[in-house]
Amino acid sequence: MEHTHAALLRLVGELEQRSVARLPPERELAERLGTSRTTVRKAMDLLERDGVIRRLKGRAGGAYLTSVAPASPSPESARSVCQSRRLLRSLNTVKGVPQMLHEQGFRDGTKVISARMATPSESAARVLGDGPAVSLLRLRFADGDTLSLEQMYLNGSLCGRVLGAPLNSVYETLRNKLGISVCMADESIELATLGSSAGALLGQPEGTAVLKLERIGYDQEARPVEYSVDLFRADRTRLNVRTSSLVSASLT
């Protein structure tokens, strides 16, 4: 045990020089030193008694050198998973994806997977009513790579004629062909994971994390005309929101 204790002290000195705070696990130390885990544990007990290490339990547990300060857990040190340019998805304005892509210098693309009149989903029916709705399933591209998968429902009685027009930018078509402007939206965002079919369309493995945006769009008369669910690739999308605490005060 004395040999193991001395070897661990030498390892502690090496780690201190490299500013490494955590000792390897007991099993790895036992293999390195050619001894049993019981012997390693007893030697670690002596190091802890002498204040050389401290032991922590739990998922982040282990043996840590008391002479080396742990790295600062600054959120700024978190690394982005994105390896390419991301679309900045603003939550401050109501814009279609093609417009956002154009404004940020991306080459946009849309693949219409299905476009038809259909019975809306339960969630869409709560917004648009039980009547037939325009159902659009579209895959979006940015610079030739997949960006998002969108299921959109539109009020059938107001927007049914959109099916006879180009469907790359539905907002533009609604405005120019039908005189309907989607000018206000309620959106909720959460983290979700891809199923196998959505993953196949986006070219991502099943279980990949995505940003799920649920949107209700209102026209210029405050009528709900749109219910959509978008799955944005988290590695290609960055959300932006502007807030203000300014409060107008009345003079008396």
**What pLDDT, on the 0 to 100 scale, is given for residue 252?**
41
- What pLDDT, in 10s, does the model give residues 154-189? 999 999 999 988 888 899 999 999 999 999 999 999
| pTM of the full structure | 0.66
- What pLDDT, in 10s, does the model give residues 41-69? 999 999 999 999 998 887 667 888 988 87
**What pLDDT, on the 0 to 100 scale, is given for residue 140?**
93
Q: Which domains does the chain have, with CATH numbers?
A: 2-68 (1.10.10.10), 87-240 (3.40.1410.10)
What is the rounded distance in angstroms from the CA atom of residue 178 to the CA atom of residue 170? Answer: 11
List the pLDDT tens digit at each of the 252 positions of the chain.
888 999 999 999 888 888 888 899 989 999 988 899 999 999 999 999 999 999 888 766 788 898 887 665 666 555 666 556 778 777 777 888 888 888 888 888 999 999 999 999 999 999 999 899 999 999 999 888 999 999 999 999 999 999 988 888 899 999 999 999 999 999 999 999 999 999 999 999 999 999 999 999 999 999 999 999 999 999 888 887 777 776 554 444
Backbone angles phi, psi at 52, to 5 degrees: -80, -35
